[in-house]
Amino acid sequence: MKSVVAEARALHRTYMRGDTPVRAIRGIDITIQAADYVAILGPSGCGKSTLLNLLGGIDIPTAGSVRLLGHDTRELSDRRLTRLRLEKVGFVFQRFHLLPALSAAENVELPMAEAGLPRPRRRARAEDLLDYVGLSHRVDHRPGQLSGGEMQRVAIARALANKPALILADEPTGELDQDTGAEIGELFLRLNRDGTTLVIVTHDTSLARPATVVHRMRDGALQTEAKP
C-alpha cells in the first residue's frame, strides 16, 4: 500500500480582483502518493500554479482542505508551515530563483543551513547533490556564470537538499530551449526512479510523457486520466 504525501479535498481558492471574485480553483480533489510522478497540464490561467502553491503550503485554500504529510495546512501557524516546507517539500521555479550572491554549492547548502545541519555535513551533501545533477565541475560557480539549464540543475539539487517527501515544480523548463528542457526532463525522471515524489506543472510534453499520473485542468477543475 502506497502512502499519501499530499491530499486535497473539495479545494477552492478564490482571489479578489478589486471587487470581483476570481475563482481560480473550483472544487478539486486530488491525492499525491509516494513515488508518484504527477504532471498537471492545462491552458494558461486555468489554475495550475494556484493548485501547486496550495499543495505546497505557500498558499492557503479559501474552502476545502490540503493535507500535507498529514498536516492540514490551514491549521498550522506560519512558522510551523514554513518549517514543514523546509523539511518536507522541495520547490523548483520557472525562474530558478537562485541567490546570485552565493555559489552553486552555497545555494544548495542554504536549506540545510536553515534546517540547522552542521557546516561540514551540508557541504559534503551539497557536493554529492551537485554531482547527482551532473554539476560536480560547477560547485564554486555563481549563478551568473551558469547557463539556464545549469541553474535549473542547481535549483533541483537545492530542492533535494533536505531529502523532501515531495518536489513541486512549476514550468521548470519554461525558460529553457527544447534540448536543455529535455535534459532537465531526464533528470526529473531519474529523480522519480530513485524514489522522489514529483508534481510538475508543465506545457512541455517531454516532461509530461514519463508521468505516472497526468491531470488535465480546465477552469479551476481537474479532468483526471490515470495511466496504466
Partner 1 sequence: MSNALSLAWRTLVRRPRRLLLFIAGVTVAAAVLIDMVMLAEGLQRSLSDLLEETGYQVRVVPKGTLPFETEAAILHSTRVAAAFSADPRIADVVPLWGRTIYASSPGAEAVATFGYGAPAGTAPTLRLRVGRTLERLGEVVINRDLAERFRLSPGDSLLVGLEPDPAVGALRSRRVVRVSGVADFMFAAAGSATLALTLEDLWALAGTTSEPAALLMIRVAADANPYAVARELRGRDTSVDVYAIPEIIEAAGDRLTYFQQLSLVLGTVSLGVAFLLVTTLLTLSVNERWGEVAALRALGVTRGRMLAQVAWQGLMISAAGTVAGIAAGLIIARYLDGILTSFPGLPVNLSFFVLDRNDALLAIGLLVVTGLLAGLYPAWRAASVNIAAVLREEIE
Ligand X SMILES: Nc1ncnc2c1ncn2[C@@H]1O[C@H](COP(=O)(O)OP(=O)(O)OP(=O)(O)O)[C@@H](O)[C@H]1O
Alpha-carbon distance 168 to 149, whole Å?
18
- Part of the chain binding Mg ion (CB under 5 A), chosen from 16-24, 46-54, 71-79, 187-195: 46-54
C-alpha cell at 14: 478564490
Neighbours of 127 (CB within 10 A): 18
Instruction: Tell whether residue 71 is a contact of partner 1 (CB under 8 A).
Output: no
| R_g of the chain computed on alpha carbons | 17
Q: Contact with partner 1 (CB under 8 A): which of 29, 43, 63, 95? A: 95
45 binds, among ligand X, partner 1, Mg ion, none (CB under 5 to 8 A by kind): ligand X
Identify the helix (H) or strand (E) that includes residue 4.
strand 4-17
**Min. distance of Cβ 56 from ligand X in angstroms?**
13
If contact means CB under 5 to 8 A according to the sort of partner, which of ligand X, Mg ion, partner 1, none does residue 200 touch? none
Interface residues for partner 1 in 124-183 (CB under 8 A)?
158, 162, 170-171, 174
Phi, psi of 175 (to 5 degrees): -100, 5
Binding site for ligand X (CB under 6 A): 15, 17, 22, 24, 42, 44-50
Q: What residue has cell string 521555479?
A: 93
Angle of helix 104-114 relative to helix 119-132, nearest 10 degrees? 130
Distance CA 187, CA 164 (A): 16
The residues of the shown chain that bind Mg ion, judged by CB under 5 A, are 49
The residues of the shown chain that bind partner 1, judged by CB under 8 A, are 49-50, 53, 56, 58-59, 78-79, 82-83, 85-87, 89, 91, 93-95, 97, 99-102, 110-111, 113-115, 158, 162, 170-171, 174
